[in-house]
A and B are shown apart, each in its own frame.
Chain A
């Protein structure tokens, strides 16, 4: 029996990452998958205003730190919220405001540094017999792939699963294919494609599979359209959820190509993320699909425990959070 712990959409939250590192111990998992949207969205400058005086903006208000400890506490709080704290002088901030390239460079530095730090933490903390699958999502820049590949190369138990069919340790005859692209969002994230483009990419990916499809796990960041996994709150013009009789109204935003792919190939299981609000499982034909959603902003880890055996395939699965 192999126990997988599947989670996604950490979005830079260090608190969630640390919790994830505890899952093999806490949940008895021997394969852990952390998939999609690993990086955060903002750099929060800790502005050095003088000796033992720093200020910053977080959660819509200004904070003032009067000593190193307060500064470090704030930096930790920022990291745990999924942002990147960087100590800067006002002059450096002005310089960054003037030059977009420097801001991009800064993001590249902090995002790759944190991911490298996280993966190092994982290989140092987790026993060697725990296999770690780590892949980017649509929101991640392409350069972070290099960090994961670097660990894939240097550590046997770290696997960058994109662009290949990987075997699950302890589960001979089973394969997993992974895919990070999503259907277009209004926000032009780095890895988006049209439904037609997604379909072409998925069909190409399908060629890598060498086993029967009911022995395949689909680790696709994007959930299939019109399921319990792709429901996002319907928003009104104030960007607030639409409610009817106190119930939040939801709408489907997943990919039709992913759905078509799952309908066509009827794999063993679909592991998805991307839509944070849809913490759910569902089925497309015989294929069981799950999405752990995400509450990284609150520091909550969500995931699915999935038990697999070579004989039966999918034994059981259930949601966990903490």
Chain B
């Protein structure tokens, strides 16, 4: 029921506010929590010797929370489709905003299909691990097929099609389904935390469980296989090297990507002030807590065994397999360790094993929305083909933007299945590059566009707008992480970035000139907040 006074205006984007606060939060949780926590929190320990993985998630989490709150505040000022593309183009500069959005679109669009294919691989791996631990050959075979190129293509394409069709038929159904596929892994994730907490509180439990599954002395054999391959506790003891922890914060940053998700559907969120604050500000805090508690309890239960196991899996897979008494040893992903603690309850083991895969699957709807709404926002501003801003009258969804996103999704599926170069390009730097401008925008918006700032939630701290303070801190912090992320860049990634950003610049300049030729002054477009 409408409690606030409203005015209806004639011009509208065609999008309709159908997404409530709970669903907006689901979209954010779904976008953020995925493969990152399940892989990076354990397996990255060998890439960054001596790193504290839970601390890495704290280091990446704090600026995410700061930026999450800043984003929520900006989204309340401008609750429109397109997220930070709208904020930066309106409050900073059009070209900076477009290029920042263009960079982020690359990370999202490419990831969309890749996640579809990768989820097949992840589901397959989870089934295979569960099959191996319960000696079920059928599950292992199914898991193996799902990990194959063909399995990834078929399952990946099915996922892309299903979610694209759901996105086309309206946000109400799409949101309801999202609530279900986020709610399930959230519950099972909490169960996993419970097992890890039990393992942390009971010294020796993890070792006993591991030995119960893989045979007496398996735990020690894993340490020996790792040590024989060059592993040493002196070098790899968790938390012994701060620089490594900082390095590990870079991939952990990727695990936080998407906390800004609900800002991209700003025109479709009901009661924007409340929904956007809950989904982004509170959502990022919830995610950080989930990550830190999950990884912290996992490491609390298994300690340096995680590093030894992961090291052996990487450097001496055959010796590890022999230690476990299996043909192929599973990688040291977080759900594997969770399933170990749940033994012998096979139902819980299965649930824990596939929790990570479900978290990954529910990334797809959010990535799809972010990608399609960015296209919509550019097109609505006349900086992309205008037909892409069309909204279906019946379902209130930007159908052409979604269809284009679906096509890009198929490319991502094939890229992942066949390891095309595009799937190998790291996109974290582009993501952080965009965060830098977001933080800058948050810092300056009360001064660059005071009339827009006045529309939002104005909180002052010692006479300075809170959003400015948050923006400055987030900018400094993200700059620090950006530096570490850039250190990891490879030539292929740098070249790809240059080509992509050059193409984006060409598009922006071309549309600027095109609009001018039609008699439209593009600066006037970027002075206005687009209609909801």
A44 located at the interface, meaning its Cβ lies under 8 Å from any Cβ of chain B in the complex:
yes
Per the bound structure, the CA–CA distance linking A195 and B515 in Å amounts to 12
Taking a contact as CB atoms under 8 Å apart, the answer to whether A186 and B5 are in contact is no
Q: Does A123 contact B (CB under 8 A)?
A: no
Q: Which B residues are CB-close (under 8 A) to A90? A: 1-3
Q: Which residues of B contact A106 (CB under 8 A)?
A: 8
Report yes or no: A195 in contact with B527, Cβ–Cβ below 8 A: no
B345 to chain A, nearest CB (A): 45
| Chain A residue total in the interface (Cβ 8 A) | 39
Closest A residue to B386 by beta carbon equals A188
For window 87-114 of A, CB contacts with B under 8 Å fall at 90-91, 93-94, 96-101, 103, 106-107
**A106: nearest residue on chain B (CB-CB)?**
B8
Output the nearest chain A residue to B2 by Cβ-Cβ distance: A93
Residues of chain A within 8 A (CB-CB) of B7 are 42-45, 57, 83
A255's nearest neighbour on chain B, judged by CB, is B519
What are the residues of chain B within 8 A of A186 when measuring CB–CB? Answer: 520-521, 524-525, 527-528
Contact A42 B8 (CB under 8 A): yes
Main secondary structure of the interface of B (DSSP, over half): loop
User: Count of B residues near A, CB < 8 Å?
Assistant: 31
Q: Report the minimal beta-carbon distance from B380 to chain A, rounded to whole angstroms.
A: 9
Q: Are B520 and A103 in contact (CB under 8 A)?
A: no
CB neighbours of A62 from chain B (8 A): 5
B17's partner among A97, A188, A256 (CB-CB below 8 A) is A97
- Chain A residue nearest to B527 (CB atoms) is A239
Instruction: Say yes or no: A57 contacts B6, CB within 8 Å.
Output: yes
Partner of A185, one of B1, B18, B396, B520: B520
Interface residues of B in 298-340 (CB under 8 A from A): none
Instruction: Give me 12 A-to-B residue pairs in the complex whose CB atoms sit less than 8 angstroms apart, sorted by A's number.
Output: A41-B10, A44-B7, A45-B6, A45-B8, A47-B5, A90-B2, A91-B1, A99-B16, A107-B10, A188-B11, A237-B448, A256-B519
- The residue among B7, B17, B270, B450 with the most chain A CB atoms within 10 A of its own CB is B7
Given A186-B521, A237-B449, A94 and B1 contact (CB-CB distance below 8 Å): yes
Tell me the complex Cα distance, A98–B519, Å: 35
Q: Is there contact, CB below 8 Å, between A97 and B521?
A: no
B519 and A195 contact, CB distance less than 8 A = yes
Instruction: Report B204 CB to chain A, min CB distance, Å.
Output: 57
Residue A55 CB within 8 A of the other chain = yes
Check A183 for interface membership: any CB of B closer than 8 A.
yes
Chain B residues closer than 8 Å to A55, beta-carbon distance: 5
CB distance from A262 to the nearest CB of B (A): 17
Q: Which of B248-272 contact A (CB under 8 A)?
A: 270
**Known: A90-B2, A90-B3, A239-B451. Is A184-B519 also a contact (CB below 8 A)?**
yes
Tell me the minimal C-beta distance from A278 to chain B in angstroms.
Answer: 17
In the complex, whether B487 has a CB less than 8 A from a CB of chain A is no
Residue in B closest to A111 when the chains form the complex, CB atoms: B10
Residue among A41, A97, A183 facing the most chain B CB atoms (10 A cut-off): A97
- A286 to chain B minimum Cβ distance, whole angstroms, is 26
Residue from B5, B8, B270 in contact with A103 in the complex, judged by beta carbons closer than 8 Å: B8
Bound form: Cα–Cα A99–B18 in Å:
9
Most buried by A among B449, B518, B521: B518
Cβ-closest 3 pairs across A and B: A57-B5, A93-B2, A186-B524
- B10, B15, B525 — which one has the most chain A CB atoms within 10 A of its CB? B10
Q: For the complex, give the distance between the alpha carbons of A99 and B394 in Å.
A: 10
- A194 is an interface residue with CB less than 8 A from chain B: yes
C-alpha spacing A146/B12, complex, angstroms: 23
**A98 vs B172: C-alpha distance when bound (angstroms):** 11
Query: Nearest CB to that of B515 among chain A residues?
Result: A184
**Measured between alpha carbons, how far is A235 from B528 in the docked complex, in Å?**
11
Cα(A91)–Cα(B518), bound, Å: 43
In the bound assembly, the distance between CA atoms of A258 and B285 in angstroms comes to 58
- A224-254: CB near B (< 8 Å → 1, else 0) gives 0000000000010111000000000000010
Q: Could you say which residues of chain A place their CB within 8 Å of the CB of B5?
A: 45, 47, 55-57, 62
**Residue A143 at the chain B interface, CB threshold 8 Å:** no
> Please, how many angstroms separate the alpha-carbon atoms of A90 and B6 in the complex?
10
The answer on a CB contact under 8 Å between B519 and A43 is: no
Q: Which residues does chain A contribute within 8 Å of B12, judged by CB atoms?
A: 100, 103
Known: A45-B8, A55-B5, A186-B528. Contact between A100 and B519, CB under 8 A?
no
- Chain A 118-155 residues near chain B, CB threshold 8 A: none
Residues of B within 8 A of A195 (CB): 518-519
Task: Please give the distance in Å from B175's CB to the nearest CB on chain A.
Answer: 13
State whether A194 touches B518 (Cβ < 8 A).
yes
Residues of A within 8 A of B449 (CB): 237-238
